[in-house]
A and B are shown apart, each in its own frame.
Chain A
Amino acid sequence: MRALFFRDLALALRAGGGFGLGLAFFLIVVVLVPFSVGPQSALLTQIAPGVLWLGALLACLLSLDRLLAVDWEDGALDLLATSPLPLEGIVAVKAAAHWVTTGLPLVLAAPVLGVLLNLAPSGYGVLVVSLALGTPALSMIGAFGAALTVGIKRGGLLLSLLVLPLYVPTLIFGAEAARRAAQGLDSATPLLLLAGITLAVLAAMPFAAGAVLRVNLR
């Protein structure tokens, strides 16, 4: 499993763009917001937590398409499925690698982009915590979506349609926590709920994704 994890990491790093693309997309979303809503700093302060969360979510969604598709196309997925590893574990490891290559950079970049959006100073800590708590759930749900659509030609658009409603609770609690912190309110409750969602997703989703993948590999 460890070998698979590092293999996926190496592939993502060397494929060029795989690693930086999500970050660049995140940056683009954040940069485009002041152009679309106007550069008033008070308004930006108000919407900054939500925009940062939305940008992270979209950047995550962007890279899901290739999560399993590459291995599917060159047949590596079939080989992995015949290996002694359980499919659930394979999907979980792939989701973990996806998180390290897209989720983690987003978490680290969010405070820097927060400066661009004039985020209130009290919001930085909780924004990073909420992203760190929430993005693993996004990767795991995304891996389920990717497993669902792996056999479909050009399943990318379908993938976003399937995955977006599943992202709603995570987005709501994550953005809520960041927003509350930015306004100087207590954000413990949404953070705890967010952590609960992530843990539940990490516990249950690999089984759903594994079952789906088994059907697709049949």
Chain B
Amino acid sequence: MSLWEYANPVKFLRLSERVQPWLWAGAAICLVVGLVWGFFFTPDDFRQGSTVKIIYLHVPSALMAINAWFMMLVASLIWIVRRHHVSALAARAAAPVGIVMTLIALFTGAIWGQPMWGTWWAWDPRLTSFLILFLFYLGYVALWEAIEDPDTAADLTSILCLVGTVFAVLSRYAVLFWNQGLHQGASLSLDKEENVADVFYFPLLVCIGGFVLLFLALVLYRTGTEIRVRRTRALMARETRGANLRAEEA
């Protein structure tokens, strides 16, 4: 019994279907509890007023936007090294979710930034690197869509993902160098000093948990769809081949 058994699509589907209801339910519970708690039962911040509450969408989505790319990186590496199709399909399935997370983070950031900084957008390191991450996602998805043969597409996008990761990290430090920041430092870290106040901290943690579960559920669901799409395609190809053979015999 090893983890690699789930590289078999049938086993993967069986497991993911068993796990998915729990993930969806957990995500729903966490999001409802976290967001309601955050929006209605936390005090207003003494400086930012009620606008601080957008943190419950902004921080988790930004976190998941980065982690989605990281997950794609791991999945791509597994595909390159061990060539498990489920892994490549999982990377493909995660990308659009990552795009949406990036967009949520960018939009909530703009909505938050307008009253706080007096501007919708600033060319600040954090904001800019997120915009670049968004471009990386777009290129990745576009490359998947552009190539017919699924194995070639998986190979090429995996390498693009690896190269993109290196350059994403590089861009992150490049933009830091380029301009002074307006964005605050990390809201959460293992270092206690930097954390937001406890009143905001616990609902935020619940929200992040909800986003993680939602992401997992979405990726598993989409991966399942990808597997089925590919299976359908294989069946149809076999069908046409059989029909051609019969036509030749007749």
B164 and A165 form a contact (CB under 8 A): yes
Q: How many residues of A contact B (CB 8 A)?
A: 28
A165 and B146 form a contact (CB under 8 A): no
Provide the bound-state CA to CA distance between A155 and B156, in Å.
Answer: 14
B160 and A148 form a contact (CB under 8 A): yes
- Chain B CB count within 10 A is highest, among A152, A162, A190, for A162
Q: A168 — which chain B residues lie within 8 A by C-beta?
A: 132, 167, 171, 174-175
B136 and A165 form a contact (CB under 8 A): yes
Does any Cβ of A come within 8 Å of B40's Cβ? Answer: no
Does any Cβ of B come within 8 Å of A166's Cβ? Answer: yes
A208's partner among B132, B136, B163 (CB-CB below 8 A) is: B163
Does any Cβ of B come within 8 Å of A19's Cβ? Answer: no
Summarize A's interface: helix, strand, loop or mixed.
helix
B143 and A193 form a contact (CB under 8 A): no
Task: Give 1 or 0 for each of A180-218: 1 = CB within 8 Å of chain B CB.
Answer: 000000000010010001000000110010011001101
Which of chain B's residues has its CB closest to A164's CB?
Answer: B135
Which of chain B's residues has its CB closest to A208's CB?
Answer: B163
Query: Measured between C-beta atoms, what is the minimum distance from B80 to chain A in Å?
Result: 9
B160 and A169 form a contact (CB under 8 A): no
Does any Cβ of A come within 8 Å of B155's Cβ? Answer: yes
Provide the bound-state CA to CA distance between A125 and B132, in Å.
Answer: 30
Task: Give 1 or 0 for each of B158-175: 1 = CB within 8 Å of chain A CB.
Answer: 011011101110110111
Does any Cβ of A come within 8 Å of B178's Cβ? Answer: yes
Provide the bound-state CA to CA distance between A171 and B135, in Å.
Answer: 16
Does any Cβ of A come within 8 Å of B46's Cβ? Answer: no
Given contacts A152-B146, A161-B135, A172-B175, 10 further A-B pairs with CB under 8 A are A144-B163, A148-B156, A151-B147, A161-B142, A162-B143, A165-B135, A165-B164, A169-B174, A197-B170, A212-B159
A–B Cβ pairs within 8 angstroms, 14 of them? A144-B163, A149-B143, A149-B146, A152-B146, A161-B135, A168-B132, A169-B173, A172-B171, A176-B178, A193-B177, A205-B163, A211-B159, A212-B159, A216-B152
